Structure 1
């Protein structure tokens, strides 16, 4: 289980920011070759991203968001990744995923490449196909909500009520395959209280991570997705009691503990162990 609470986007056209993003303490750094790059910048951004990835040995998980494989830029991104024979294991973020076939095609192209996938759903079609997309390939390790494009298509804003159905559908799809689930960035960089509140709400909905667009957002997001001392204490007590009584339903602090509760406790302890808390 990889620790995935926070993901920070960094423009592929700004390679001088790559190391700064890594140094923020974020769990995932995503070099963005798509929305963060103008058309005239995409070729050089691809070169910079692959050069950086080839020598990468830092702790945060390195992610590269390519352009849509339905575009020429995306096809060039994929070809460059496949032809680059000195890359360490990477995570590839696929934008504009609208159907399982989008994942299946990329999976086939990457047959001899050690790379897992995060499927970014940012259209109504993609949200509706979330369960099929989640199951499209063993490479899929996470799903992500893309709220900006989705809200434009839906003719809505990006408020909680407008995005709730999409978030709920992705939560069910990700849970069915035990995948990580990443929420859309919070765009008001100067509102840390709002960021923390939204991060907490999506965590309660079943999300495991939230994306950031500014280094200052990393700490509030990671904190929101870090189990509290009380949660960790409870989870360890539940697992200890279950082990003592050899599984099955039991009572802990007067409350029923069955399989779903055990799964929740296991997830909390897995995160706590990685963080040393």
Structure 2
């Protein structure tokens, strides 16, 4: 079973001292942000500082969120990052069409991850997810999506969230991580939101502060009861591969066994 990341820690590219701290914070992936977290007059500095950091291999995978593909900085971002040994992937903001993915894939050999942040991006989710073999994942950028849709209540994003989960699966991609929880002090709210995201089919979450990381990981790791049930299912399947009922009356088949094995794979991260 593939070991998918559960935590993705965003850090501004124009603050190299904060980047250094993020690399040691315990996230599965560190995402250096050249886009929304960086003011226009700091874009050139952020790119140069990021290049300097990523000239060497890093202790954890590092992705870089480049600037919007239709803006004035993206081409220089892509050219500067393409051959750096410390870059594990590029996160592409505000993607709205599969053509954008294909164009970037021609320009760089790096794995790509698309952020869908508009109604148009959501409408094209499956086409984007299957656009090119270099694309390894899709996810939502919920702040921009809320603004585009005029959504105020969190429930207004349930359909786009499910759409992205289904599109990723249909294209054979990893389950998408949740978008960031913007209140870094609201850890109870973060935990509740993660539980809701897990129920919708997300796996892991982006973070904007190290204190959010353990909350996200706990929320997405299976509980002792889930692990016990998964072990029971896998043990039963080892003796009888057909559909069957467990002693407690629960019915299992191949799909239930597959979910149990995924649960045990996640449990091994502890």
Tell me the TM-score range normalised by the shorter chain.
over 0.9
- Give the match's secondary structure for 2:31: strand
Name which of 244, 247, 256 aligns with 1:250: 244
Give the match for residue 75 of structure 1.
75
Name which of 154, 178, 198 aligns with 1:183: 178
How many angstroms apart in 2 are the aligned matches of 1:101 and 1:189? 35
| Structure 2 residue 84 is the aligned partner of structure 1 residue 102 | no
Cα deviation code 1:230-254 (max 9, x no counterpart): 2122222222222222x33222342
- CA apart distance, 1:25: 1.4
Question: What is the 5 A alignment of 1:140-179?
Answer: 140-157=135-152, 159-176=153-170, 177-179=172-174
Asked if structure 2 preserves the Cα contact closer than 8 Å seen for 1:142 and 1:182, the reply is: no
Give the match for residue 208 of structure 1.
203
How many angstroms apart in 1 are the aligned matches of 2:9 and 2:96? 23
- Give the match's secondary structure for 2:229: helix
Name which of 252, 256, 259 aligns with 2:254: 259
How many angstroms apart in 2 are the aligned matches of 1:21 and 1:73? 24
Cα deviation code 1:204-259 (max 9, x no counterpart): 100002111112111111111111122122222222222222x3322234211122
Cα deviation code 1:117-137 (max 9, x no counterpart): 211000000011111111112
How many angstroms apart in 1 are the aligned matches of 2:142 and 2:129? 18
- Give the match's secondary structure for 2:25: coil
- CA apart distance, 1:190: 1.6
- Give the match's secondary structure for 2:54: helix
Asked if structure 1 preserves the Cα contact closer than 8 Å seen for 2:62 and 2:86, the reply is: no
- CA apart distance, 1:20: 1.2
How many angstroms apart in 2 are the aligned matches of 1:57 and 1:191? 30
Structure 1 segments unaligned to the other structure (5+ residues): none
Q: Runs (4+) of structure 1 moved beyond 6 Å?
A: none
Give the match for residue 64 of structure 1.
64
Asked if structure 2 preserves the Cα contact closer than 8 Å seen for 1:9 and 1:213, the reply is: yes
Give the match for residue 88 of structure 2.
90
How many angstroms apart in 1 are the aligned matches of 2:111 and 2:261? 24
- CA apart distance, 1:57: 2.9
Residue 75 and residue 105 in structure 1: after superposition, are their counterparts in 2 closer, same or farther (change >3 A)? same
Calculate the aligned-residue CA RMSD, in Å.
1.6
Give the match for residue 215 of structure 2.
220
- CA apart distance, 1:88: 4.3
Cα deviation code 1:169-190 (max 9, x no counterpart): 1111122224230211111222
Give the match for residue 12 of structure 1.
13
Name which of 117, 121, 130 aligns with 1:122: 117
- Which is worse superposed, 175-184 or 73-82? 175-184
Normalising by structure 1, we get a TM-score of 0.91
Residue 166 and residue 271 in structure 1: after superposition, are their counterparts in 2 closer, same or farther (change >3 A)? same
- Which is worse superposed, 90-99 or 249-258? 249-258
How many angstroms apart in 1 are the aligned matches of 2:103 and 2:244? 47
- Give the match's secondary structure for 1:55: coil
Normalising by structure 2, we get a TM-score of 0.93
| Structure 2 residue 27 is the aligned partner of structure 1 residue 21 | no
